[in-house]
Structure 1
Amino acid sequence: MSYSYPHSHGPSSGSYRPARQVDMKPTTISSHVRDYLPSQTQQWALETKEAFRSWSGMLSLLARVARCIFNVTNALVVLWACTLWWGERTVFQDSVKACAWETWEKWPQDASPHHVAFIADPQLVDPHTYPGRPWPLSTLTVKFTDQYMRRSFSSLQKELGPDSVLFLGDLFDGGREWATATSSSPEKRYKKYKDRFWKKEFHRFTKIFTDPWNDGDGHSSEPYGRRMITSLPGNHDLGFGAGVQIPIRERFQSFFGQGNRVDVIGNHTFVSVDTVSLSAMDQPDPETGSSGAGTGEGDLPNQRIWAETEQFLNKMNVHRGRAETESLRLMRNQSEGHLYVHRVVDILEPSFYHRPQPEIVGLPAILLTHVPLYRKPATPCGPHRERYPPSGDNLEEDDRNSIPMGRGYQYQNVLTPAISRDIVSKVGSNLVHVYSGDDHDYCEITHHEFSGSPREITVKSLSWAMGIRRPGFVMTSLWNPIDQTTGQSLQSAGSGRTLQNHLCLLPDQLSIFIYYGLVFGFTLVVLLLRAVVVVKRPAQASAPEPILPLSESHSHPPQRPARYKSPSSSTSSSTLPSPRGLASRATNNPPLYATSASADKEELGSAKWKPTRDGSGRRADRKATAAGTIRGEFVASVKQVAGIVFAWYFFLIWRW
């Protein structure tokens, strides 16, 4: 028998065509690009292409995009983005904007006041602040306190731009503890911190307060330039009284300047006095145990500590006269110059130049001291004191509202009466105001015991780690037009007021963190409810399942074991599994399609599969499966939201 096969006679033959010559549509660049995309992306691209071919398809595509964008997780991301922007940016800017100069200062329309901001007790957090706080809580405390002060000071410069910024001491918290080449801390646990550590703290200070300084240049119209004075020391910078170490004070002065100085600012004379060193005058000498109070000149206790400040006060007329005279020359655009007397003298007569002593012009004087002046116990501090508001109205004594009369290791709440009188009497009779720090909270009193009854404001701390919820600073507006020759005031008679003060409060950082916590809790609840709805919605839409199983289900076609022969066409129907399902399970014979004994045990003998009288096993299985699915959906959504939120938060921290 022979067979014949058709043969192809070339490409024109229609009886046979090789597979490689199948008709193909011409390829395009977009199709090549699409082939390299993931399968899901390819499917989405094809659906998008088809959708744009009809209005219904476009509407369907837009609906899908809307569902992808407007969902619960994206809404929570937007909520967190707005919350973090408010807590890390808006709240600081709004707090400072509310203190704008024009909203509270009241001068004549043609006045050009000089604006001053007083900053007290930044006290950079260091190992001395919370010695028992473990890592990483200690590191986070340093990070967040520095960030708070940097944002506050930067907002102060950008929104207000004061002409002068004056610090009132306690720039560091443990500055007195960090060793120099010739001194160390009296406490053993701090002896390991050397001079290098103090210099690192100095760089922290400059990064927080010096770097944003130029942001305020656009607000100032001061013809002689803006200034920032940080030289006034506090007890945390040097120690207090007899505890002051000379090498530590010299280090502080070499970086920040002399603590005792006179500056003319806004036609007012600012006198800065190192009262923490001067307080050693009436404290017992740690070496002899005797006190220097009331003693005369000579070898006095602690003289090496307080002598420099006392000499400065004794020559106050010279310091004030020189500063005020130089200020008038600067206003007239004149140099100091020297006036020589032209006369004929004998050749043997020694020639010398006698420089006349400058006289005090009489500008209003303002005293700057870190430690507040003495006042009677229980003198109320007024309504702006945060920790202890007034107990009543117009009280002459209010112990809770006052600065307590106390002292301890390296601190004293107020100066002694003797030192307070000595300072006020030597500064001059034209003392109109006093600014101090140290207490961390606001206090405003009038010293009726001194001539002129000067007012004293104890400025709030700028740091939120100093025991107060609302840090702040004091803004002072100075306006004192004077004659450039004599220095006499040109204000109309009876209007001798030359300065105005305003307390500017900063955000409550602890409340911001609490608000973050509330939003965090709300986020977890919403995501948990979403996970429950996503998992339960398909089950609710489908028909209810029976309590007991009615048939076996296989995820793959059953494989017949080798020990069973394949049934032939003559096989009785009784050899096949019973179609009644449940009846066949009651027999002792294994199922026909069981693959092994272990499968029999897993499929038929499992306690979870076997029906019980009330069906609790199957319900427990369904509940466990549903709980696991809800948990997975919840964790996945939390990770999705947290990834975006933390990236945004770290960006806000890094940028400012």
Structure 2
Amino acid sequence: MGLSARRHARTSTRFLSRTLIVNIWRLLAIVLLVWGEFGIYFWSLSSCKWPTTAFQSTEKPTHVLLLADTQLEHPSAYRNEATWSDLFYRLTYELYLRRSWRVTMQMKPDAVFFLGDMLASGKNMNSEEEYKRYFEAFRQTFSFDSNVNVYYIPGNNDVGMGVTRPLSKHIRKSFYQTFGPFNQQVVIRNYTFVLLDAPGLVDEDYTRAAQRIPYDKWVPLSGGPVEFVKTLYTDDSPVILLSHVPLWRKDTAACGPRREKGNIHKGVGHGYQNTLQKHTSDFLIENLQPSIIFSGDNRDTCEYIHKVVSGHVPADVALIPEITVKSFSPSKHIRRPGIQLLSLVDPDPTARFHRSMAHDLCLLPDQNFIHWRLYAGFAYFTLLVMGLFNIRRRRQLSPHALLTPLSPHLSLARIPSPHPSLVTAAWTSYAPPSPTSPRGSLPGTIRTPNASSGPTFRSASRPGTPYHTTAPLLSPIPYQHEEAEDDSLYPSQYAKTRPHLREEETWSPEHLDHIDDSENGSRVMSPFLPPSGPHKRRPWSWTWNFVFRGRMRRITIHAPSVSWDAFKDLMALLGDGVSADMKLRQRGIIRSTMIDLVSVAWVFVVTWTIMAWWSF
């Protein structure tokens, strides 16, 4: 391979070197992580706005945020038998809750209602102290400003329900001491929010049904939800009912276009119940006559219209919408969690209530999409790109493309040979100046085998090997900064190599400058003199001279170089060189591809760890 071909090969591979490709992919991994861990959360809620389209009033509305099923895991739950995969899942799960909550708080609500199941395993706590520590972990994850009013209603995972009721007496006491009352009445913009203890209502309904006593003749339990509903006074203001458990409906009832799959079906199990009983639902609607109902527990959203006959005329039917709020936490039942936004203004007595109220659903990011499509897809794509790149590099490499240097001052270059099995090498000698040298001639000359005078040396021919080449070799000449400075045989002005030639390139006649002697007309070939050419303009610089400790000092600042040569030098730092090509030959394509993948993966892991630590 000739000199120009070698230069072209080095230039082309420099811009597509392994180091450059790996660094680009590391940068892409960091950008992808920033998007997947932070940017996608803001992007998901960027299109969410507080609904105001149904309002007829120009006054500023009150913004109410509704959340269901935050399902915070206990910090020490299943710690003993948890595997590494379980610990990683719980870490990503809590990171999702924290980041979703921080983005949600950017909506700046005036009031927040949690619709039950704030804790994933609150009913399993063994003492009041343990429950309080669990609550503190919840408050650290779901922190909010002091000017935001926050209200809670109990869920079946918070206090237990059904067969777990006898075991949860201290749990209910702990819930009351931490989260607040089980049943509440809150007034916002002349709307009465009725916060119902749905697990307690289910338990009281079991007791009532076991005695076969209808609600109109049932004596409510003291402090229970039935007593709360019967004694509630709303002052004719519109009622918004909040219940953790959805109200009864037929199994075939549709849930609207926003539900991901299926419907809400009746079902009862250990510590849960999908819907309230029909008699219980009728009791609530008849006594409260709510304008709208918000429920949770089902994880997916559902929009259902309760049709209630409000008078003796069959045609007089009241339509009461119920919105089952999406889970705030990730779940296998849904792809994207969500939140519910509610805007309120003072209701107009002369108009229908819904004219002063508007609500909408906002979706949060899909955690499975982030992990299994975004990150895993990037890993597969990186593996593909690195594999194709290594295949391309391997095809470009040939046994004659590598240049093996012999020493810092002596290297070999391959040139065409008359016979491939023979190698002829010639050494040139340096002739020091002699007293008989012509006046005005150079202090020394480089003698070659074709010179008319001076000693020449020629080696015998020998069989060639892959590690020997057929180019003429120069004797090593010391650099100026070495011991040649004091050697009279090597004047310093001839001990400089040409800057535009590389260390591994061999001096050959086509590389030497032909210099004319003005006095005797002789031509002297010297590779050590800088090439002649037009004078280049010196770059801008600023110099400041000052005296410090009795000595003159100078500070010079030069303008940064933005030339093409500087850019090529920067790209050269990212080059691989011959060593990387040799490693590719030794390792093979598959092993080199896996090493490249790991070199990108460790940057990904370290960056993700830093982001996770910062989120906490």
Q: In 1, Cα distance between the equivalents of 2:237 and 2:99?
A: 35
Q: In 2, Cα distance between the equivalents of 1:363 and 1:463?
A: 33
CA shift, 1:107, in A, is: 2.6
Q: Which residue among 151, 176, 192 is the counterpart of 2:123?
A: 176
Q: Which residue among 87, 96, 108 is the counterpart of 1:148?
A: 96
Other-structure match for 2:341: 475
Q: Which residue among 587, 598, 603 is the counterpart of 1:644?
A: 603
Q: In 2, Cα distance between the equivalents of 1:80 and 1:581?
A: 49
Matching of residue 519 in structure 1 with residue 378 in structure 2: yes
Matching of residue 314 in structure 1 with residue 233 in structure 2: no
SS at match of 1:146: helix
CA shift, 1:142, in A, is: 1.4
User: Please, what TM-score do these two structures have when normalized by structure 2?
Assistant: 0.62
Other-structure match for 2:8: none
Q: In 2, Cα distance between the equivalents of 1:240 and 1:380?
A: 27
Letter in 1 for 2:387: L
C-alpha contact (below 8 Å) 1:121/1:440 kept by paired residues: yes
- Report which structure shows greater RCO (CA 8 Å, sep ≥6): 2
Other-structure match for 1:73: 22
Higher strand share: 2
CA shift, 1:100, in A, is: 1.6
C-alpha contact (below 8 Å) 1:145/1:465 kept by paired residues: no
- Go from structure 1 to structure 2 and tell me whether the alpha carbon gap of 1:541 and 1:506 turns closer, same or farther (over 3 Å shift): farther
- Go from structure 1 to structure 2 and tell me whether the alpha carbon gap of 1:654 and 1:313 turns closer, same or farther (over 3 Å shift): same
- Go from structure 1 to structure 2 and tell me whether the alpha carbon gap of 1:495 and 1:629 turns closer, same or farther (over 3 Å shift): closer
SS at match of 2:342: strand
Matching of residue 506 in structure 1 with residue 428 in structure 2: no
Q: In 1, Cα distance between the equivalents of 2:181 and 2:138?
A: 18
CA shift, 1:150, in A, is: 1.4
CA shift, 1:472, in A, is: 0.5
Q: In 2, Cα distance between the equivalents of 1:516 and 1:175?
A: 33
Q: In 2, Cα distance between the equivalents of 1:366 and 1:542?
A: 80
Q: In 1, Cα distance between the equivalents of 2:216 and 2:279?
A: 17
Matching of residue 446 in structure 1 with residue 379 in structure 2: no
CA shift, 1:82, in A, is: 2.0
Other-structure match for 2:110: 163
Q: In 2, Cα distance between the equivalents of 1:129 and 1:425?
A: 42
Q: In 1, Cα distance between the equivalents of 2:354 and 2:133?
A: 46
- Go from structure 1 to structure 2 and tell me whether the alpha carbon gap of 1:624 and 1:128 turns closer, same or farther (over 3 Å shift): closer
Letter in 2 for 1:170: D
Q: In 2, Cα distance between the equivalents of 1:473 and 1:297?
A: 37
Structure 2 gaps of 5+ residues are: 1-10, 311-317, 403-413, 415-419, 423-460, 466-580
- Go from structure 1 to structure 2 and tell me whether the alpha carbon gap of 1:105 and 1:154 turns closer, same or farther (over 3 Å shift): farther
Other-structure match for 1:95: 44
CA shift, 1:92, in A, is: 0.7
Letter in 2 for 1:227: N
C-alpha contact (below 8 Å) 1:365/1:432 kept by paired residues: yes
CA shift, 1:98, in A, is: 0.9
Other-structure match for 1:371: 245
- Go from structure 1 to structure 2 and tell me whether the alpha carbon gap of 1:143 and 1:496 turns closer, same or farther (over 3 Å shift): closer
Other-structure match for 2:201: 278
- Go from structure 1 to structure 2 and tell me whether the alpha carbon gap of 1:267 and 1:626 turns closer, same or farther (over 3 Å shift): same
Letter in 1 for 2:230: N
Q: In 2, Cα distance between the equivalents of 1:538 and 1:519?
A: 28
Q: In 2, Cα distance between the equivalents of 1:209 and 1:292?
A: 42
- Go from structure 1 to structure 2 and tell me whether the alpha carbon gap of 1:580 and 1:256 turns closer, same or farther (over 3 Å shift): closer
Q: In 2, Cα distance between the equivalents of 1:264 and 1:412?
A: 29
CA shift, 1:506, in A, is: 1.0
Matching of residue 263 in structure 1 with residue 186 in structure 2: yes
CA shift, 1:627, in A, is: 4.9
Other-structure match for 1:11: none
Q: In 2, Cα distance between the equivalents of 1:64 and 1:530?
A: 11
CA shift, 1:314, in A, is: 2.5
CA shift, 1:379, in A, is: 1.4
C-alpha contact (below 8 Å) 1:128/1:174 kept by paired residues: no
CA shift, 1:625, in A, is: 8.5
Q: Cα deviations across residues 468-489 of structure 1 (Å, max 9, x unaligned)?
A: 11110111111125xxxxxxx3
Q: What RMSD over aligned residues (CA atoms) do the two structures have, in Å?
A: 4.0
C-alpha contact (below 8 Å) 1:282/1:293 kept by paired residues: no
Other-structure match for 2:550: none
SS at match of 2:142: helix
Q: In 1, Cα distance between the equivalents of 2:352 and 2:178?
A: 44
Other-structure match for 1:12: none
- Go from structure 1 to structure 2 and tell me whether the alpha carbon gap of 1:418 and 1:539 turns closer, same or farther (over 3 Å shift): same
Other-structure match for 2:430: none
Moved more, 411-420 or 67-76: 67-76
Q: Which residue among 400, 403, 406 is the counterpart of 2:264?
A: 403
CA shift, 1:117, in A, is: 1.2
Other-structure match for 2:148: 226
C-alpha contact (below 8 Å) 2:75/2:134 kept by paired residues: no
CA shift, 1:409, in A, is: 0.8
C-alpha contact (below 8 Å) 1:440/1:466 kept by paired residues: no
SS at match of 1:435: strand
Residues 214-613 of structure 1: pairs in structure 2 closer than 5 A = 214=145, 225-230=147-152, 232-244=153-165, 245-283=168-206, 291-294=210-213, 308-317=224-233, 320=234, 360=235, 362-388=236-262, 402-427=263-288, 429=289, 431-449=290-308, 451=310, 452-480=318-346, 489=348, 493=351, 497-513=355-371, 514-539=373-398, 542=401
Residues 52-71 of structure 1: pairs in structure 2 closer than 5 A = 71=20
C-alpha contact (below 8 Å) 2:55/2:356 kept by paired residues: no
SS at match of 1:526: helix
SS at match of 1:151: helix
C-alpha contact (below 8 Å) 1:117/1:164 kept by paired residues: yes
C-alpha contact (below 8 Å) 1:473/1:504 kept by paired residues: yes
User: Please, what TM-score do these two structures have when normalized by structure 1?
Assistant: 0.58
Letter in 2 for 1:422: F
Identity across matched positions, percent: 29
Letter in 2 for 1:539: S
C-alpha contact (below 8 Å) 1:121/1:169 kept by paired residues: yes
Residues 4-23 of structure 1: pairs in structure 2 closer than 5 A = none
Q: In 1, Cα distance between the equivalents of 2:232 and 2:386?
A: 69
Q: In 2, Cα distance between the equivalents of 1:580 and 1:117?
A: 87
Q: Cα deviations across residues 425-462 of structure 1 (Å, max 9, x unaligned)?
A: 332x4x20111001111111111036432211111101
Q: In 1, Cα distance between the equivalents of 2:241 and 2:464?
A: 100
Q: In 1, Cα distance between the equivalents of 2:207 and 2:353?
A: 47
- Go from structure 1 to structure 2 and tell me whether the alpha carbon gap of 1:179 and 1:626 turns closer, same or farther (over 3 Å shift): same
Q: In 2, Cα distance between the equivalents of 1:508 and 1:496?
A: 32
C-alpha contact (below 8 Å) 2:74/2:120 kept by paired residues: yes
C-alpha contact (below 8 Å) 2:50/2:342 kept by paired residues: no
C-alpha contact (below 8 Å) 1:475/1:503 kept by paired residues: yes
Letter in 1 for 2:359: N
CA shift, 1:310, in A, is: 2.4
SS at match of 1:467: coil
C-alpha contact (below 8 Å) 2:132/2:174 kept by paired residues: no
SS at match of 1:281: helix
In the alignment of these two chains, the number of paired residues is 429
Other-structure match for 2:478: none
Moved more, 244-253 or 622-631: 622-631
Q: Cα deviations across residues 125-183 of structure 1 (Å, max 9, x unaligned)?
A: 3599999985111112211111112111111111x1111111100111221122236xx
C-alpha contact (below 8 Å) 1:442/1:459 kept by paired residues: yes
Letter in 2 for 1:291: A
CA shift, 1:528, in A, is: 3.0
Letter in 2 for 1:247: H
Letter in 1 for 2:97: M
- Go from structure 1 to structure 2 and tell me whether the alpha carbon gap of 1:144 and 1:420 turns closer, same or farther (over 3 Å shift): same
Other-structure match for 1:207: 140
C-alpha contact (below 8 Å) 2:266/2:275 kept by paired residues: yes
- Go from structure 1 to structure 2 and tell me whether the alpha carbon gap of 1:242 and 1:128 turns closer, same or farther (over 3 Å shift): farther
- Go from structure 1 to structure 2 and tell me whether the alpha carbon gap of 1:312 and 1:624 turns closer, same or farther (over 3 Å shift): closer
SS at match of 1:144: helix
Q: In 1, Cα distance between the equivalents of 2:597 and 2:26?
A: 11
